[in-house]
Structures are given as structure tokens and as C-alpha cells.
Amino acid sequence: MNFADSEVVGSILAVAGYGLTETIEEADFVLINTCAIRDNAEQRVRHRVRELRALQNRRAHLRVGILGCMAERLQDRLMAEEDNLSFVCGPDAYRRLPDLLRQVREGQKAAEVELSTTETYADIEPVRLGSNGITAYISIMRGCQNYCAYCVVPYTRGRERSRDPQTIVDEARTLFEQGYREVTLLGQNVNSYRWTVDGGSTVGFPELMDRVASISPLLRVRFATSHPKDLSDELLQVMASHPNICRCIHLPVQSGSDRMLKLMNRKYTVEWYLDRVAAIRRYLPDCSITTDVIAGFSTETEEDHQATLELFRTVRYDYAYMFKYSLREGTYAWRHLADDIDDAEKTRRLNEIIALQGQIALENNRQEVGREYEVLVEGESHRSKERLFGRNSQNKVLVFDRKDAVAGTYRRVRVTDCTAATLLGELV
């Protein structure tokens, strides 16, 4: 999401006459787009800001600013605490950046942190930053109002709002015409995407997917993130009817214990979640499923933790993002629930989940050996110029000998070997 936002910022600033530099040493402004979801993300940003002091000593006019969720969360406090910062700008205020930079050039400090109920940057054609020219992100909605008890996002990104579907389809079509072959539609909870057309009819996420997937069978479509409470059979049916909608669903579970899910305000039970997993497997037998999980939320017992491990054994995810619970100021949990699992215990539980998931991912990958997939070739493998990498529909990375394959095209690849993270293969 931040990556997509930075591309919007790049576009707003390009229109105002600013350009990107090749290296940080040439820059007049450094803008750091930030995440506030866990404390360690914020600490890394603070570290980066402090590191920039040395460069500012050499380049006296260099100004540093913070964009995104940390700016929204901390506002002026951030500039008071980090005295080499000149500006902060929240996620709904990027159109104000040219004005903000003008004030900063005049020697002022400036903050723009107003949230909006309507801003979607729908009319802004993002500049593609560091693009491979093959895959791109398209933001389809902003904000979130699910208020999961642990989560700061509703406070930093504001109310949920959807973007005009026509602008989304147009952006995807333009990308396709420019040679892009994969778009990922982004939102905090894409299943609640809803746009009301003049006259009152509405476009929901399944219809939006249908429209984007109909642009061309050669354009792959992915999406993230689905909230399990809202994943509908209708969406799965639309996916099943378009082979170019990728067979990969990110379905954050957060915990395998009903008691934790209730305390987290997730609005589903393990039974509901497993029913959604069964529905995915029914409509899309070859679909990969990935997740997010939090270890050590308030009052989590060993029994709750074991329930999470059990759920992982049941679902057998292809990939998981695994986190230790981090208390965030302003959230429901911060107001009402103790952060009472000590850090060593959180780490132990997290490491158990990581070890189990690593084993499952490896076992899943071993089953892939011998299978053939259509792979969208993305570029050279990091390890060797002789090898290329790409992804299959399930979003698994395949690495294979280059031969005559070219980035931006589809090739059939047979899996010959694997690690827990990568499939190795050969062109068919």
C-alpha cells in the first residue's frame, strides 16, 4: 500500500516540477513513507531519519520529511522529537505536498495531517517507481473501519472509501497497453469495496474483478487483502470463471483461538474461517492460501497458542506473515487490554509458529516437484545472470535457466526441485 502511495506522491510532485534523483546524495528533499503498524517498523524509520543527519551536515539545504501513517499518528510530536525533520504529511494530504515543500523552502516547518472521507487520488496517474515494466499495484480503496482491537490503521488511514471503478479499469488497461502483464488491486479489506453509481446501483468487488479481468486474458489480476468475514462465494465464482485471476488468496487469520478472535474484534470464528478455506478449495482447487498471524496478544494462553499451531496444521498455508503483538497507542487494546505476555514468551511462541510454517511450506513445495506451471517471467534471478525468475498463478517464485525466455512473457516451467521459499525448474 505504501509503495502504491509513493507512486501517487511521485506523480503529484512531478506535476509540480520535482523529479527523482538517482542517489540520495543528489537530493534536495528526502521523503520517507512510513508504516505505523508495529513499533519495530517505527523504530527503523527513526533510525533512518537520524542517519540522514550526516548527509544534512554536508548538504545544508537538504530537508527531510515523513509521509504516511507515522506522520498521521505522531503529527507535530514527531518533528519535536526528531529535530532534523522539516515536515510531516499524512496519507490523505499528499495533494498538499507541493505547497508544503514551498513552505519548507521558505524556512518553515510544516505539518499536513488532515484525514479525508473522500480522497482516493482516483484522478492521479501514478508514476511507476523502480518498475520492472511487468507488474504494478493499483490502489482501489483507502482506509479501514474494522477496528480490530490491536490495529492502528483505522486511526492513521481514516474511514473506508472506494475509488470509482471506471478509473481503476482505465488505469489497468493503460498499464496493459504499456506492456504490463500483472496488476495487484490493493485495499485494507478489498471484499468491502463498494461504489455507488449515479442512479443508485452499486459495483462491488466481484464485479470490479470481473471488469478488470476482462481487459485481456494476458493480463493477470491479483488482489490483497481479504478479510475472512467478508470473503464471498460470489467472488470465488468470479475467480473461477477467469483463469487470469490468480489462484492465490491472502486470508489473514491472526489467531486460531476463538477467544482471541473475539478479543481481537475479528468478527469470525475458527469454524467460519475454515468454512471459507473449504469454499476456496471447492471453487478453486489449485488456489494457494496465505495468512497473517499475531503471537502473544493480550491474555493469550498456551492453549490459545496451541490452537493457532493446530489451525496452521489444518490449513497448511503456502506462506505466512508472522508477527509478535505490538501494543499501539490509541487502539481498543491500548485502552482496555493489558499487554501482559512478556517479550521472551511472545518470541518463543512466534518462533514455534515460524518453525512449523517453514516445515509446512517445504512439504507443500516438495509436492510441486514434477508439476508444470505457466510462469510470468519477471527478470534475472538475484543469484545468477544465467537464470530467470517468475511467478506462477499461485504467486510462488520459480527460478529456471534462461535459455530463450524473455521477461514480460508467459512460459511453461516444470518444477524439478525446491526450497521452502522457492521452486526450481526448467523451461518446457
From 53-61, 65-73, 321-329, 405-413, give the range in contact with ligand 5AD by CB under 6 A.
321-329
To 10 degrees, the CA torsion angle through 56, 156, 112, 47?
-10
Is residue 38 within the footprint of ligand 5AD (CB under 6 A)?
yes
State in angstroms the smallest separation of the CB of 87 from ligand SF4: 26
Is 427 within 8 Å of 401 (Cβ atoms)? yes
Binding mask 209-228 for ligand SF4 (x = CB under 6 A): ------------------x-
| In the complex, least distance from residue 161 CB atom to ligand SF4, rounded to whole angstroms | 14
CA proximity to 318, closest of 279, 290, 292: 290
Restricted to residues 108-167, the positions that interact with ligand SF4 (CB under 6 A) are 144, 146-148, 151, 153-154
323 near ligand 5AD, judged by CB under 6 A: yes
257 binds, among ligand SF4, ligand 5AD, none (CB under 5 to 8 A by kind): none
Residue 254 binds ligand 5AD (CB under 6 A): yes
| CA 208 remoteness from chain centre | 19
Smallest gap from residue 382 Cβ to ligand 5AD (A): 25
Phi and psi dihedrals of 90, rounded to 5? -75, 170
Distance CA 67, CA 88 (A): 6
Residue 255 is a binding residue for ligand SF4 (CB under 6 A): no
Closest CA to 249 of 206, 291, 289, 276: 289
> Residue 352 and residue 349: Cα distance in Å, rounded?
5
367 contact choice in ligand 5AD, ligand SF4, none (CB below 5 to 8 Å, kind-dependent):
none
- Site membership for ligand 5AD, residue 29 (CB under 6 A): no
- Which of 215, 138, 114 has the alpha carbon at shortest distance from 173? 215
**Residue 297 vs residues 179, 259, 348: alpha-carbon distances, Å:** 45, 11, 13
Evaluated on CA atoms 189, 251, 36, 73, the torsion sign reads: positive
Strand partners of residue 220: 182
CA distance 423 to 226: 26
Residue 226: Cβ within 10 Å count: 22
| Of positions 167, 189, 192, 298, contacts ligand SF4 by CB under 6 A | 189
Is 349 among the residues that bind ligand 5AD (CB under 6 A)? no
**Residue 325 CB, nearest approach to ligand SF4 (Å):** 12
The binder of ligand 5AD chosen from 94, 137, 150, 195 (CB under 6 A): 150
Beta bridge partners of 174: none
- Shortest distance (Å) from residue 68 CB to ligand 5AD: 14
Q: Is 252 in the site for ligand 5AD (CB under 6 A)?
A: yes
Cβ distance to ligand 5AD smaller for residue 339 or 378? 339
CB of 47 to ligand 5AD, least distance (A): 19
Among 325, 373, 389, 400, binds ligand 5AD (CB under 6 A): 325
Selection from ligand 5AD, ligand SF4, none that 244 binds (CB < 5 to 8 A by kind) is: none
Site for ligand SF4 contains 261 (CB under 6 A): no
Q: Angle CA(308)–CA(340)–CA(71) in degrees, nearest 5?
A: 90
C-alpha 127/C-alpha 16 separation (Å) is 13
Tell whether omega for the bond before 225 is within 30 degrees of 0, i.e. cis: yes
Scan residues 328-347 and list those touching ligand 5AD (CB under 6 A).
328
Give the distance from CA 346 to its chain's centroid.
24
| Contact partner at residue 389 from ligand SF4, ligand 5AD, none, CB < 5 to 8 Å by partner kind | none
Number of Cα atoms under 13 Å in the Cβ half of residue 258: 5
Q: List contacts with ligand SF4 (CB under 6 A).
A: 144, 146-148, 151, 153-154, 188-189, 227
Q: List contacts with ligand 5AD (CB under 6 A).
A: 37-38, 150-151, 252, 254, 292, 294, 323, 325-326, 328
